[in-house]
Structure 1
Amino acid sequence: MEMNRTEQIMRVLVDRRPPEVRTETLMEWSGLERKPLLRILDKLERRGWVAVRRRAIKNEKRTGRHTRNPTWCITDVAAMRQALVTPQKDGTQRDRIWKAIRIRNVFTRAEICKLTGISRHSVDDYLRVLTANGHVRVTGRVRQGNVYQLITRQVARPKTREVHKIKEANGNGKKKSEG
């Protein structure tokens, strides 16, 4: 099975389980160059799986080993192991929409449609479901429509309950309300 570089670094961290590790040590273990390795570690940091333990302060005039070689603390080995075990399923439209929402964090419907190539009606339906289930909230309006913000930090696409319209006896389509 072919592994990409992110999976390779995750596998090294899961297998060796160091509480802290320096960048140059990870370079030795993985065989990757510094720049791609730092990009991968930044991605893992955004996911909350690793954290920078020691890094030079910007205004400090320290250069050399300390700034180029930060120490990384592994914060969530279990989540990394789970991500390695579960197969990635990017096939469904909702998976692609969820991935785009997680990338953008603050977004409009038009941005998600453009990123995913999915129709605005499908994106609207899923945004309505996510809003009703408390995963996304409307934070404002722009010319193109509502501005949404991601609330949950969940990596996997959340299990949601659909918001269905109930036909009343007079034929109006109204949302079911509990009163």
Structure 2
Amino acid sequence: MTMQTLLLFAHSYFKDSVVNKALIEEANTLDSVCVQNLSLLYPDYHIDTKAQINLVREAKSIIWQFPLFWYSVPALLKHWQDEVLTPIYKEQIFKDKAFGVVATMGGHKGDYEGSNASIEELLKPIYYGFERRAMRIKPPFCIYAEDFSALPFEEYKKYLLG
């Protein structure tokens, strides 16, 4: 089967991760999902830009997965964005592809709602660049601390494939 979804994952403390390791293992069982664990592939931040650009070109859907630390993406994912997307940003290869975010959060859902701003508002800077390239935007798939004991694997897989 050909790749449908390019899953780009980064985690500053991947070796200590429990939740994201379990999710990535689950994603690796899906034939049409190409998992790029940037934390393992590029621990030195020397990204193979050409290979990553080719994956972006082939994908029908691009998903970023990361733990939301300090209301931002891990530095390696930001570096990937700068190295891979900047050279091809004005190309039409993004049009009609889907973009989404899987975010894990150590806080509770209520910590990201109300006067503190919604998760959609917190992720807006990430989504905005992809919206500007005419990508179809998927709402974020968020896993909060209260979900960690029973991870929603089926919903996660549907999100990756949808």
What TM-score results when the alignment is normalised by the length of structure 2?
0.26
Structure (1 or 2) with the larger CA radius of gyration: 1
What TM-score results when the alignment is normalised by the length of structure 1?
0.24
The structure whose RCO (Cα within 8 Å, separation 6+) is larger is 2
